[in-house]
């Protein structure tokens, strides 16, 4: 089965805990649960919160600290039983490698478009494999599912509905698992709606005809 991720990081931490408890109570045991703090905490609070939820068996705590606080994330990864996931906001291969080399994540969430594309992402995956770090690529699952499928350890892939209008095709999802498309390339073609959203067009160079 798959999993469900819950946003946390509200001003009232007790409300976060109540929502976690309510969701965990209603989820089947075979559905994983994660929480995402979106960089809302400082190191002291993140450690305190993490110790409270350590006994709940969460799949991971996402972005508990500022995205560039590699040392802080590394401290949490050492101190907590719950895996620490982060990396989606990083914007280069160098940053991704720095995070992993610092021990700043148990689960790397790099976003291929943000760190420079498919080639930098594959290089980041090589380092993650070397360090035995799991991956859970962020956003744009239509692209990331192909990259995640190339990783030796089974990854997480996030499911968003927001990009569905952009493409004619849909990913096949059943029982919490995503099937990798077998169509050529990424298996995607732009929809008419996406073409209608185009605000300008430019041509570069000339096409030579033999």
Domains of the chain, with CATH numbers?
Answer: 1-86 (3.20.20.120)
Torsion over CA: 88, 158, 34, 59 (sign): negative
Predicted local confidence at residue 54, as pLDDT: 97
Largest CA distance in the chain: 71
Predicted local confidence at residue 163, as pLDDT: 85
* Radius of gyration over every alpha carbon of the chain, rounded to an integer in angstroms: 19
**DSSP H or E stretch at residue 183:** none
Kindly give the parts of the chain with pLDDT less than 50.
none
pTM for this entry: 0.90
> Cα separation of 68 and 39, whole Å?
10
Predicted local confidence at residue 204, as pLDDT: 74
Give the residue numbers marked as catalytic: 7, 138
Q: Do 28 and 1 touch, CB atoms closer than 8 A?
A: yes
> Cα separation of 80 and 53, whole Å?
9
Predicted local confidence at residue 193, as pLDDT: 86
Predicted local confidence at residue 209, as pLDDT: 60
Predicted local confidence at residue 175, as pLDDT: 87
Predicted local confidence at residue 160, as pLDDT: 84
């Amino acid at each position: 089965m798959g999993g469900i991720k819950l946003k946390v990081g509200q001003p009232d931490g007790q409300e976060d805990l109540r929502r976690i408890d309510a969701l965990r109570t209603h989820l089947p045991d075979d559905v994983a649960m994660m929480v995402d703090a979106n960089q809302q905490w400082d190191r002291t609070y993140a450690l305190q919160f993490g110790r409270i939820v350590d006994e709940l068996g969460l799949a991971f705590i996402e972005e508990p600290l500022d995205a560039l606080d590699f040392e802080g994330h590394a401290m949490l990864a050492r101190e907590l039983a719950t895996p620490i996931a982060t990396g989606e906001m990083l914007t280069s291969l160098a940053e991704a490698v720095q995070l992993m080399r610092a021990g700043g994540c148990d689960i790397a969430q790099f976003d291929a478009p943000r760190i420079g594309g498919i080639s930098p992402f594959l290089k980041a995956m090589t380092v993650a494999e070397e360090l035995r770090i799991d991956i859970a690529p962020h956003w744009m699952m239509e692209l990331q599912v192909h990259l995640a499928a190339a990783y030796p350890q089974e990854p997480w892939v996030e499911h968003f509905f927001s990009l569905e209008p952009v493409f004619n095709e849909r990913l096949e999802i059943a029982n919490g698992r995503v099937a990798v498309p077998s169509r050529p390339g990424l298996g995607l073609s732009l929809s008419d709606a996406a073409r209608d959203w185009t605000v300008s067009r430019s041509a570069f160079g000339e096409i030579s005809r033999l």
